């Protein structure tokens, strides 16, 4: 059976992922920057949702994956918080300035996460040498690697993911992610030989606000403060149905 993981940035999205039949969520915040660690309150609320595995992204900020000592301590604290809240797994990753896996920091994060499932995130797609990085990620004890095959989408990187899957030889799970939809999920799984797949399955959701103060932005200048993206239960369900046919 194929495992479907949905990247969720709110409790609304977590509930939609469950409604659509996902097996697991990767919980994060600020998806517009690729995701950062969500709040303790959101983690606790997501943990209360039944019949859904919960993994949490451990990333202190957007931007690159080169972290200083202060950020490293933040990540260790967040992992311990996840453990206290009963999270099933964490999603980690860090690179050195030369584009290799930061083995020292990643070993610390894996040690902090002992007993939980550990996924190395798409920092992998920004590394210098993917084949060397794969061996290092296996060596530090990660159970899973989320990747687009260092391409703009998992479909474009399918051949590379297939090669990495062969190299891993069952020592860790390769999970394609980026640009996955109900239209291409089955194709990606067939092309890569993967047994898990990652999608956000988001759609645009309008605000329920009746009063609207136009011309004021809370974030990027000109951004629409009365629209957001959330996981769509029907798209999750469509992905589930598509991958059942493989």
pLDDT in tens, 55-80: 999 999 999 999 999 999 999 999 99
- pLDDT category of residue 223 using cuts at 50, 70 and 90: confident
The per-residue pLDDT for 225 is 83
Residue percentage of the chain with pLDDT more than 90 = 89
pTM for this prediction: 0.94
Q: Is 236 a member of any domain? A: yes
Which ranges constitute the DSSP H helices of the chain? 11-20, 40-47, 69-84, 103-112, 130-140, 158-168, 185-192, 233-244
Q: Is 212 a member of any domain? A: no
131-186 pLDDT per residue, tens: 999 999 999 999 999 999 999 999 999 999 999 999 999 999 999 999 999 999 99
Domain count across the chain = 1
Q: Which of 152, 150, 162, 151 is nearest to 188 (CA)?
A: 162
Question: 28 is in which domain, residue-wise?
Answer: 3-207+223-244
Residue 27 in this model has a pLDDT that exceeds 90: yes
CATH number at residue 76: 3.20.20.380
> Mean pLDDT for the chain?
96
- pLDDT category of residue 224 using cuts at 50, 70 and 90: confident
Are the CB atoms for 178 and 149 separated by under 8 Å? Answer: no
Q: Is 214 a member of any domain? A: no
Q: Is 216 a member of any domain? A: no
Q: Which of 52, 56, 55, 54 is nearest to 19 (CA)?
A: 52
Q: Which of 232, 235, 234, 238 is nearest to 12 (CA)?
A: 232
76-94 pLDDT per residue, tens: 999 999 999 999 999 999 9
From residue 40, alpha-carbon distances to 72, 95, 202, 230, 235 in Å are: 18, 26, 23, 20, 28
What are the tokens at 47?
A: 């943990």
Q: Is 104 a member of any domain? A: yes
Q: Is 213 a member of any domain? A: no
Q: Is 200 a member of any domain? A: yes
The per-residue pLDDT for 31 is 93
Are the CB atoms for 73 and 38 separated by under 8 Å? Answer: no
Q: Is 217 a member of any domain? A: no
Round to whole Å and give the CA distance between 203 and 188: 21
Round to whole Å and give the CA distance between 29 and 173: 24
Are the CB atoms for 81 and 43 separated by under 8 Å? Answer: yes
The per-residue pLDDT for 169 is 97
Are the CB atoms for 61 and 91 separated by under 8 Å? Answer: no
CA 209 to chain centre: 30
């Amino acid at each position: 059976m194929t495992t479907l993981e949905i990247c969720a940035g709110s409790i609304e999205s977590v509930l939609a992922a469950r409604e659509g039949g996902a097996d697991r969520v990767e919980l994060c915040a600020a998806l517009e920057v690729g995701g950062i660690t969500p709040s303790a309150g959101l983690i606790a609320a997501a943990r209360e949702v039944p019949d859904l595995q919960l993994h949490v992204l451990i990333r202190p900020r957007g931007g690159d994956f080169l972290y200083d000592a202060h950020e490293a301590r933040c990540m260790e604290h967040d992992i311990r918080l996840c453990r206290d809240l009963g999270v099933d797994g964490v999603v980690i990753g860090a690179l050195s300035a030369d584009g290799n896996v930061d083995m020292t920091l990643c070993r610390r994060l894996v040690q902090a996460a002992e007993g939980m499932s550990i996924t190395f995130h798409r920092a992998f797609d920004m590394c210098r040498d993917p084949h060397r990085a794969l061996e290092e990620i296996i060596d530090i004890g990660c159970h899973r690697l989320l990747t687009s095959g260092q391409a703009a989408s998992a479909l474009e990187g399918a051949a590379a993911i297939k090669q990495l899957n062969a190299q891993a030889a069952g020592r860790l799970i390769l999970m394609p992610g980026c640009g996955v939809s109900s239209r291409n999920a089955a194709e990606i799984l067939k092309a890569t030989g993967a047994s898990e797949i990652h999608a956000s399955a988001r759609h645009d959701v309008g605000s329920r606000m009746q009063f609207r103060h136009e011309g004021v932005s809370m974030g990027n200048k000109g951004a629409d403060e009365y629209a957001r993206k959330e996981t769509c239960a029907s798209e999750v369900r469509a992905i589930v149905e598509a991958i059942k046919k493989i």
